[in-house]
């Protein structure tokens, strides 16, 4: 099998040198891009700053999307968490609420960070901000874990895809969950090997997931899938930290995801011609938006309630 870049390679190197995975990635990126390690850290801090702002704007208000189709999903789930302080879902439900909130910000055409894409932009901030709060980690810890997340995404982009139009939702929300899972392991002090294992678990959980946006908008089912992606990432992280190992090596899982994406029918890859986009209601929503814009859609949604 031919790999352009492997997780296995950097994991082994980090384990051999007994160094931090994020330090090793920064060194490699510095060599490759000519950026200094300080510049890399500073740029990632800027990304984190935007994520932090998005999460707040996402869960603190009932922000409608530009189309009017969605809005306030993250806010609603966060309020539910606050009202049920003893909810046994704990960090899982908080991470999902934050992921959906960031995704809401995106749908309202806010300024976001593609992680790795805009359609999947909630998962990584949702997971990492929640873990940092829960485990008392500071900004530097989150930034280091984002470096790890980015490298996992780079390996996936080199060997498979991070595009819904090329590989379906598994390539977007699946990749984001894999990145968040690995980054979560790193933040929790797991071994480099466990970082790669967590990424593999998250990808396997959604292998084959299609991209079927209603009316071609990054809203339904995308916002909710960001919530699910965050939960899958956390479970993948915990599995890896528990010492569970993937039967199939992580790099082979990535190749398999790319292959599934290539053979997936084009109707299921961000063309809005399959899945929930092609249901009678999905088609009607598309028609309303096409003909009459979002005002008319509001009336349609109210009538259907």
Partner 1 sequence: MNIFDIIGPIMTGPSSSHTAGAVKIGHAALRLFGKKPDKAIIRLYNSFSKTGKGHGTDKALIAGLLGFAPDDSRIFNAMAEAKKAGLEAFVEFMGENNAYHANTAEIVLYHDSDSMRIIGKSIGGGRIVITQVDEYETGYTGEYHGLMTIHKDVPGVVSHVTSSLAKFGVNIAFMRLYRKTRGSQVMMIIDTDNPIPEKVQDLLSKHPQIEKAAILNKK
Residues near partner 1 (CB under 8 A): 25, 29, 32-35, 40, 43-44, 46-47, 50, 65-67, 105-119, 121, 124, 146-147, 149-151, 153-154, 157-158, 161-167, 171-172, 179, 213, 215-219, 266, 269-273, 289-290
CB of 87 to partner 1, least distance (A): 30
| Shorter beta-carbon distance to partner 1: residue 81 or 209 | 209
CB of 15 to partner 1, least distance (A): 21
| Shorter beta-carbon distance to partner 1: residue 32 or 83 | 32
| Shorter beta-carbon distance to partner 1: residue 129 or 217 | 217
Give the pair of three-digit tokens for residue 55. Answer: 């999460």
Distance, C-alpha 114 to centroid of its chain: 9
Q: How far apart are CA 20 and CA 23, in angstroms?
A: 5
CB of 82 to partner 1, least distance (A): 26
| Shorter beta-carbon distance to partner 1: residue 46 or 245 | 46
CB of 75 to partner 1, least distance (A): 17
CB of 119 to partner 1, least distance (A): 6
| Shorter beta-carbon distance to partner 1: residue 149 or 237 | 149
Q: Is 64 helix (H, G, I), strand (E, B) or coil?
A: strand
CB of 144 to partner 1, least distance (A): 12
| 112: Cβ contacts below 8 Å, ≥ 6 apart | 50, 51, 54, 102, 105, 106, 118, 121
Distances (CA, A) of 91 to 102, 103, 115, 130: 16, 18, 21, 7
| Shorter beta-carbon distance to partner 1: residue 245 or 259 | 259
Q: What is the dihedral of CA 30, 123, 236, 77, to 10 degrees?
A: 150
Distance, C-alpha 303 to centroid of its chain: 33
CB of 249 to partner 1, least distance (A): 21
Sort residue 244 into left (φ over 0), alpha (ψ -120 to 50) or beta: beta
Contact by Cβ (8 Å): 167, 176:
no
| Shorter beta-carbon distance to partner 1: residue 115 or 239 | 115
Closest CA to 185 of 138, 134, 237: 237
Write b or e for each residue in 180-203: b if 16 or more Cβ atoms lie within 10 A of its Cβ, otherwise e. Answer: bbbbbbbbbebbbbbbbbbbbbbb
């Amino acid at each position: 099998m031919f790999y352009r870049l492997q997780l296995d390679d950097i994991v082994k190197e980090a384990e051999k040198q007994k160094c931090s995975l994020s330090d090793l990635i920064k060194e490699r990126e510095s060599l490759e891009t000519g950026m200094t390690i300080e510049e890399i850290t500073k740029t990632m801090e800027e990304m984190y700053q935007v994520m932090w702002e998005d999460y707040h704007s996402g869960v603190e208000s009932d922000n409608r999307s530009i189309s009017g189709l969605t809005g306030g999903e993250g806010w609603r789930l966060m309020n539910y968490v606050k009202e049920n302080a003893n909810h046994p879902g704990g960090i899982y439900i908080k991470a999902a609420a934050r992921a959906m909130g960031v995704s809401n910000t995106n749908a309202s055409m806010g300024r976001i960070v593609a992680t790795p894409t805009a359609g999947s932009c909630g998962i990584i901030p949702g997971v990492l901000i929640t873990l940092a709060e829960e485990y008392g980690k500071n900004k530097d810890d989150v930034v280091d874990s984002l470096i790890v997340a980015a490298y996992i995404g780079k390996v996936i982009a080199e060997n498979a895809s991070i595009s819904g139009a090329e590989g379906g939702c598994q390539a977007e929300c699946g990749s984001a969950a894999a990145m968040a899972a690995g980054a979560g392991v790193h933040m929790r002090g797991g071994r480099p090997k466990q970082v790669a294992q967590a990424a593999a678990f998250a990808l396997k959980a959604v292998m084959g997931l299609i991209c079927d946006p209603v009316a071609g908008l990054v809203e339904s089912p995308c916002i909710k899938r960001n919530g699910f992606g965050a939960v899958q990432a956390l479970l993948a992280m915990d599995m890896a930290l528990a010492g569970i190992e993937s039967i199939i090596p992580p790099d082979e899982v990535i190749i398999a995801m790319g292959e599934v994406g290539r053979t997936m029918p084009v109707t299921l890859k961000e063309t809005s011609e399959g899945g929930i986009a092609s249901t009678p209601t999905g088609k009607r929503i598309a028609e309303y938006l096409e003909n009459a814009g979002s005002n008319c859609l509001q009336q349609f949604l109210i009538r259907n309630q």
